[in-house]
Structure 1
């Protein structure tokens, strides 16, 4: 991946709907060169094309972070598989310290969050304890990685 690829990714992170003509103009490439690079970047997995729903618009406004402790590392694979399969779990991070995992989850209500914790997470084998924190508001939430933007012409 060269600097032009990084510039394309940075531009797309800023506005994923930029046309190939605009990307070409901002990077100094031809449209066909932009098209080929985007195909390669997508095929390699460096760029993922996704739609991101607004939590307010789809009534998933409750954001919570859940620390989870497992009794033994032999439970990791099963826990990870369960979290990967649960659509309410947005992120699952193996962490250091007193906890095994940190989850970022979304729910439509407190009852929905309670069901996730009580019925789906705490019933998994090896769960020793959990600790949940609710986000009261969100000052920043992004999927964009901190890549430098190319200068505009």
Structure 2
């Protein structure tokens, strides 16, 4: 990957629907050359998929929460992971080193929906020792990719 590939990726990150023609004007390459580079980036796995960024507020998902989870024992890991992966409100799910075992970034409609998610979904998973939930007041920076 060279500087031109990086420029192509930057343009695609801003707008994944940008045409090869528009990219070619920005990177001073022919349209076929741009298409070939994009294809190579896809084939190498650097570009995994194309997606859209939704406006959560306009879709009535007005509350974001960060949930830290500690499990009782390692025997609960597989069941916990399999359950959380299937929860629709979970946008991001990380295994951590440190005080907590897992971190979940969730979006829901409101505090009642968050309470329902915590009580009737998350805390019903066997093996959860404790959770710590933090409500996000505002997002200062939110990038989809590096």
The two structures have a TM-score, normalised by structure 2, of: 0.89
Aligned mates of 2:58, 2:42 — CA distance in 1? 28
Aligned mates of 1:97, 1:131 — CA distance in 2? 14
Aligned mates of 1:69, 1:44 — CA distance in 2? 36
Aligned: 1:23 with 2:23: yes
Tell me the CA shift for residue 124 of structure 1. 0.6
Shift of the 103–13 alpha-carbon distance from structure 1 to 2, 3 Å rule, reads same
Query: Mind listing any 5+ residue stretches in structure 2 that lack a counterpart?
Result: none
Match of 2:82 in 1: 81
Aligned mates of 1:108, 1:6 — CA distance in 2? 37
Aligned: 1:131 with 2:142: no
Across the aligned residues of Structure 1 and Structure 2, the Cα RMSD in angstroms comes to 1.6
Counterpart contact for 1:67–1:100, Cα < 8 Å: yes
- Alpha-carbon displacement from aligned partner over 1:67-112 (angstroms, at most 9, x marks no partner): 0001122322222222221121001111122210111000011111
Query: Mind listing any 5+ residue stretches in structure 1 that lack a counterpart?
Result: 146-153
Match of 1:148 in 2: none
Count of matched residue positions in the alignment of Structure 1 and Structure 2: 145
Shift of the 107–20 alpha-carbon distance from structure 1 to 2, 3 Å rule, reads same
Counterpart contact for 1:14–1:144, Cα < 8 Å: no
Runs of 4+ in 1 over 6 A off after TM superposition: none
Aligned: 1:70 with 2:56: no
Tell me the CA shift for residue 6 of structure 1. 2.2
Shift of the 113–32 alpha-carbon distance from structure 1 to 2, 3 Å rule, reads same
Aligned mates of 1:125, 1:104 — CA distance in 2? 20
Counterparts of 1:35-114 in structure 2 under 5 Å? Answer: 35-47=35-47, 48-114=49-115
Shift of the 89–36 alpha-carbon distance from structure 1 to 2, 3 Å rule, reads same
Tell me the CA shift for residue 20 of structure 1. 0.9
The two structures have a TM-score, normalised by structure 1, of: 0.86
